[in-house]
Amino acid sequence: MKAVAKILFAGSLVIVLSMVLGVSTGFAQEMTMKEYKAQLQEWADREMAAKTEIAKCDNEIASLNSQMADLDGQIASVWGDIYAALGVSESDVNDYRAQLDDMDQELSALGGLSPEDLFKRRKELDAMEEKLGGMKSSPIYALTEMRDRIAGLEGKIATLRASMPKGMYDEYTVNRGDYLWKISRNQYGEGIQWYRIYSYNRDQIGDNPDLIYSDRVLKIHRDNAPGEYMVGNGDNLAKIAGSMDVMGDPTKWRQLYEANKDVIGDDSSLIYPHTVLKIPGR
């Protein structure tokens, strides 16, 4: 009987526990579903809030774009008034700016050359300076942007000029038995250019070109520096002075003569080919 009673008690206990666990599990499942739905609602609320903010931002962006478009229109109108006051068009200004851009690129390329190679292309710098001078006469030069840019380009040209050698020459040490004709023949391929060496070294050689001393270092002229001119066949002082590369005025021949009297001598009408002259004011 006791065994049967124990069995019945155990069975009853199992049934009770099963009922309790069933109720607990259902309650837990019911709470999980509620939490899930609450989480979904929270996400939906967040999405709605985000969409509202996005719409608000879109409206603000559209408003800012409209304001910027209005501002651009006002700026364009102001520039239109400025161009009209200068008597130019926007296309004219763009062309002017493009020319400055081109010169800037050319100067950058020249800046990559060696001083010697740059010296050989110095006329390009002369041409740029002349062009910039002409551009200054344009009403577009009144614009601050253009004034600043031209000043910058002129500064670059000045820097390049400062890096060039003052003259293009080699050095030659006089040997025993040398004379100017012989040196000229060896250096230039013809002795007749001896006066080129003499005039270029007048301060060392003195009044007598037939007298040069051993171990003296002479400068062998290779090309003209900015302040030099080498006399050619048929040249005279008025013709040389009138050259735009020299003084641009033939009536200034007297100034040219006085600056080179020690090389030319007392007769201003007699100048020899290959004489290297100094250009006054350079």
Instruction: For the chain, 282 residues long, give each residue's pLDDT as a single digit of tens.
Output: 444 444 444 445 444 444 444 444 444 455 688 887 788 888 888 888 888 889 888 888 988 888 888 788 788 888 888 988 999 999 999 999 999 999 999 999 999 998 878 887 888 999 999 999 999 999 999 999 999 999 999 999 999 988 887 778 889 999 999 999 999 999 999 999 999 999 999 989 999 999 999 999 999 998 888 789 999 999 999 999 999 889 999 999 999 999 999 999 999 999 999 999 999 987
Same domain, 268 and 176: yes
Same domain, 182 and 267: yes
Same domain, 69 and 93: no
User: pTM score, two decimals?
Assistant: 0.50
Same domain, 80 and 118: no
Residues 169-185 as b or e (16 or more Cβ within 10 Å = b): beebebeeebebbebbe
Same domain, 258 and 191: yes
- What confidence score (pLDDT) does residue 278 get? 92
Element (H, E) at 154: helix 144-163
Q: Which of 163, 185, 216 is the last residue of a domain?
A: 163
Question: Which are the contacts of 141, defined by CB distance < 8 A and separation ≥ 6?
Answer: 135, 147, 150
Same domain, 218 and 196: yes
Same domain, 149 and 185: no
Which residues constitute the domain of residue 124? 87-163
Same domain, 63 and 151: no
Report the 10 Å Cβ neighbour count for 268. Answer: 17
Same domain, 69 and 103: no
Report the C-alpha gap between 6 and 16 in whole angstroms. 15
- What confidence score (pLDDT) does residue 169 get? 87
Same domain, 183 and 268: yes
Report the 10 Å Cβ neighbour count for 119. Answer: 21
- What confidence score (pLDDT) does residue 156 get? 96
Same domain, 9 and 92: no
Q: Which of 22, 54, 86 is the last residue of a domain?
A: 86
Task: Quote the number of domains for the chain.
Answer: 3
Q: What is the CATH number of the domain that holds 216?
A: 3.10.350.10
Q: Is the dihedral of CA 132, 136, 137, 143 positive or negative?
A: positive
Q: Which of 33, 58, 86 is the last residue of a domain?
A: 86
- What confidence score (pLDDT) does residue 17 get? 44
Same domain, 54 and 22: yes
- What confidence score (pLDDT) does residue 71 get? 80
